[in-house]
Amino acid sequence: MLRRQVLLTIVAAFLLSSPTWAGLVADVFYVKMDFTLAETAFVYQLDAKGNLVPLPVSRVDRRTGEIDYSKRGVLWLLGVETHVVRRTPDGILSEPLEQVEDMDRYSRANHHLVFSHVSRTKPPTEIFMDGQRVIAIGQEFTDLWFPAGYAYKISDGYMYPWNWHWHNFGGVPDDEEVYVQVIAYYDDDPDAGYRDLNVFWYDAQPLVSEFCTQPGRRSYDGFRWPVLERQRVVAIMPHVHDHAEQMELVHNGQTRAVFTGEFATRYTYHRSHNRCQNYPWALEEGSLVPKTLNMWYPEEELIFSPGNTVMARSVYNNPHAGPLDAMAIMVTYYERLP
């Protein structure tokens, strides 16, 4: 973890000192995990004195906050780092190199946090959505980085936590505050010339996302998505749950990529959902380690065209006696083609 943070610091220092990256700027947001029944997700930023200041309440959901982009001009989103930080009773927030996501009680507290970008200039790519789900954070805390020459363009609108879920089965002390830290990197040069990206979620289980795995090792074919527009796939952020041995990108019936993370014996829990069973906080083998399920970038050009199908196939090895909650999602960033 420390080595990764040092590398990112060096990269940021290089970009800021490079004439071609003179427009690089960063926003740091903090989303507070609320473990009460209200389960809010308000968004904060630090002021010059180091105090956390709440951003305006979302116009969509009064239980969360909103990041306003209406007066900031053109921002090219290049990447996003995500962490968990805590604030102790003395009011001190943990520093970037003292993150706590490797401490299971904190990282497991975030089941998921998803931001939607609502914009007049970038309409939704999925039905039943008010915007594009551009930032997604699960217990794996995968960092989002786009390849050189590509970025997600933000020129208006706002972003807000569209969906989230917190748990405190690990026993975070009552006198501590826990936040998901989101560090967004942009280029604010409107003429930078990046190729603009859009987002589509190729989800094994549309709308609901979660499904149940049966005991033992089994393969699960997800929903076969019909492709609605011509897409050049630039990057994919995979998302699975504990005990997933792998997930495959299946395009027109052919496996095009296999995603795997690092698994270890860690403290974890499994919530009851639909027909899945609840399994309490305990040490389990096969638990996903944060920061190990990496972004995937095609080595060869990958085009999805209308008439194609895309599917997430997952392999889970459920060690429990009953059904276990699972997900298999490919958050796909693509360039729209004519």
pLDDT digit string, tens, across residues 249-260: 999 999 999 999
Q: How confident is the model at residue 207 (pLDDT cuts 50, 70, 90)?
A: confident
Q: Which residue do the tokens 């527009």 mark? A: 229
H or E element that contains 76: strand 75-87
Phi-psi region of 19 (alpha: psi -120 to 50; beta: other; left: phi over 0): alpha
- pTM reported for the whole predicted model: 0.92
pLDDT at residue 15 tops 80: no
Residue-level pLDDT at 22: 55
Nearest to 41 by CA among 64, 58, 67: 64
Dihedral angle, C-alpha 78, 23, 83, 273, nearest 10 °: -40
Question: How confident is the prediction for the chain on average, in pLDDT?
Answer: 90
197-336 matches 2-195 in CATH topology: yes
Degrees to nearest 5, angle at CA 43 with 160 and 59:
45
Degrees to nearest 5, angle at CA 78 with 335 and 142:
95
And the tokens for 322? 């009953």
With beta carbons less than 8 A apart as the criterion, state whether 197 and 335 touch.
yes
Strand 150-154 to 195-196 pairing: parallel
Instruction: Provide CATH code, domain 2-195.
Output: 2.60.120
Tens digits of per-residue pLDDT, 106-117? 889 999 999 999
Instruction: Give the whole-angstrom CA distance, residue 214 versus residue 318.
Output: 7
With beta carbons less than 8 A apart as the criterion, state whether 215 and 287 touch.
no
Average pLDDT value for residue range 86-114: 78
Between 50 and 199, the more confident residue is 199
End-to-end Cα separation, the chain, in angstroms: 41
Q: Cβ atoms within 10 A of the Cβ of 312, count?
A: 28
- What CATH class does 197-336 carry? mainly beta
Q: How confident is the model at residue 80 (pLDDT cuts 50, 70, 90)?
A: very high
Strand 309-318 to 263-270 pairing: unpaired
**What percentage of the chain has pLDDT greater than the value 90?**
79
Residue-level pLDDT at 335: 98
Q: How confident is the model at residue 70 (pLDDT cuts 50, 70, 90)?
A: very high
Nearest to 55 by CA among 77, 86, 95, 27: 27
Residue-level pLDDT at 49: 84
pLDDT at residue 96 tops 80: no
pLDDT at residue 11 tops 90: no
Phi and psi at 155, nearest 5°, equal -130, -5
Domain coordinates in residue numbering, the chain? 2-195, 197-336
pLDDT at residue 95 tops 60: no
**What percentage of the chain has pLDDT greater than the value 70?**
91
Q: Cβ atoms within 10 A of the Cβ of 182, count?
A: 23
Strand partners, 278: none
Nearest to 188 by CA among 146, 150, 155: 155
With beta carbons less than 8 A apart as the criterion, state whether 109 and 175 touch.
no
